[in-house]
Amino acid sequence: LGGSVSSAFVMYPLDLLKTRMQAGLPGQNTLWRAGRAIVKEDGLGGLYRGLRTDLLKCGVVNFVYFFAYVHLKRALKARRNAQQEIGAGDEPQTPGKGDSQAARSAAAKGSDVALGLAAGVVAGIVSQLFSNPINVTLTYIQTTDQKTRGFASTLARIIRAEGPGALYRGLGVGCILTLNPAIQYWVYDHLLDWVRRVAERKGDTQEYLEGGATATSPAGGLATPNGSVRPKGPPKARNLPAGQVFGISSVAKLVATLLTYPLILSKTRMQAEGGGAQRSLIGVLAKVFKEEGLEGLFTGFNVQATKSILGAALMMVVKEHIDDAAKDLADSLSKGGVHPVDPKHKRP
C-alpha cells in the first residue's frame, strides 16, 4: 500500500496528462498540448488536479488486489496440494516412481502459473468492484473544466446527472483489464525465477548472501548460514539489488501495457464521455478506429508506458523495502524476545 501511494504521488502529473490524451479532448492529443492547456487554465498547480482522489483510488485498488491475490492463491494452492496428496496416496509403488515424481513436479510448476493467473484475474475483478466508482469520479475531475473538484461533490454531481449506475460505467472493460496486473505479476515472478536460475548456473550466489542463501544444497534447496535449507523457488526481491528489481518491474509492466492498451484507452473514453455507443466497448473501438485509424487506438501510449513502467517499478522497490524493514523488525523482535520480569527484583 505504501509503495502504491508513493508511486501515485510521484507519477500523478503524467497520469493526468495521459488521461486527457486518452479521452480525446480537442487539441490535447500530445503531451505538450495537454500540459499547456492545463497550465493555461489552472497554472502549475493544475497538474495535480484530482490528486487526493487518485491517492484514494490507488490505495483501495492495491490494498484490495494484493489482499485478495495472496489469499486466493494460497487457497487454490492448498486445494491443489490436498488433491495431489490424495492422488499420491492411491498411486501403487512402482520401480519408476522417481520418474513419476519428476513428472508431478513439472506438472505442479505449470499448475503454479495457472493458479497465479487465475488468482490475479479474480483479485482484479474484486478490486474493480470497489474502485470503479472512484475511477469514474477521478476521470470526470481530470477531463472536465468544473470549478469544484472535490471527490464527494463530483460523485454527487455524477449521481444526480446520470444516476448511480453511471458509477459503474466501464466496469466490464475494467474486468477484462484485470489481465493487465495478472500479466504484470506473472512476468515479474518468472523474471525473478530466471534471474535466480542464471545466478545458480554461474555459481554467483554472493547476491543472495544478504537474503540468507549462500549456496545450493545437496537436497536441492538453498543452504542458509545457520545450516537450514530453504526450498528452491522464485527468489524474493530482497535478494536482489534495487536496480534489478526496478528493471524487472519495468519489463513486466511494459509487456502488460502493450498487450492491453487499446482496452485502457477505451475504458477512459467510456468513463469520460458516456452516453450512447460510448457505453459499449465495441462502439468505442469502432469510433476511434474510424475517426483516428489504428494509430488512434494507441494515442498516449508513450505517456501511459512511461507512467506505468516508472510507477510500477517505483511501487515494487518501495514495497520490497517496506517488506524488508518489516521482516527485519520481526526478526529482531523474535531474536530479542521478551524477558519476563523477576518478581524478586526490586527497582532501585
pLDDT tens digits, 238-288: 566 767 777 888 888 888 888 999 999 999 999 886 555 456 889 899 999
Please report the pLDDT score of residue 95 as a whole number: 54
Q: Is 142 helix (H, G, I), strand (E, B) or coil?
A: helix
> What number of other Cβ atoms are within 10 A of residue 316's Cβ?
25
**CB 46 within 8 Å of CB 38:** yes
Global pTM exceeds 0.85: no
In this structure, what C-alpha cell is assigned to residue 171?
466496469
CA 146 to CA 140: how far, in whole Å?
9
Please report the pLDDT score of residue 72 as a whole number: 92
Return left, alpha or beta for 50; rule: phi > 0 is left, psi -120 to 50 is alpha, else beta. left
Q: Which residue has the cell 473544466?
A: 145
Give the torsion sign (CA, 181, 182, 183, 187): positive
Report in angstroms the alpha-carbon separations of 253 from 159, 166, 181, 192: 34, 29, 8, 14
* pLDDT lower than 50: segments of the chain: 205-235, 277, 338-341, 343, 345, 347-348
> What is the set of domains in the chain, with CATH numbers?
2-83+112-329 (1.50.40.10)
Residue percentage of the chain with pLDDT more than 90: 23
Backbone angles phi, psi at 13, to 5 degrees: -55, -40
E-assigned strand segments in the chain: 215-216, 222-223, 229-230
CA 99 to CA 105: how far, in whole Å?
10
Q: Is 229 helix (H, G, I), strand (E, B) or coil?
A: strand
E-assigned strand segments in 178-313: 215-216, 222-223, 229-230
**CB 37 within 8 Å of CB 27:** yes
The secondary structure of 31-65 as a DSSP string is HHHHHHHHHHHH-GGGGGTTHHHHHHHHHHHHHHH
Q: Which residue has the cell 497554472?
A: 43
CA 14 to CA 60: how far, in whole Å?
20
Please report the pLDDT score of residue 226 as a whole number: 37
Please report the pLDDT score of residue 341 as a whole number: 47
Q: Can you state the percent helix, strand and coil of the chain, rounding each to 5?
A: 75, 0, 20
CA 22 to CA 68: how far, in whole Å?
29
Strands 229-230 and 215-216: unpaired
Cα–chain-centroid distance for residue 81?
Answer: 26
**CB 327 within 8 Å of CB 50:** no
Cα–chain-centroid distance for residue 284?
Answer: 26
CA 145 to CA 300: how far, in whole Å?
21
Return left, alpha or beta for 220; rule: phi > 0 is left, psi -120 to 50 is alpha, else beta. left
Please report the pLDDT score of residue 107 as a whole number: 56
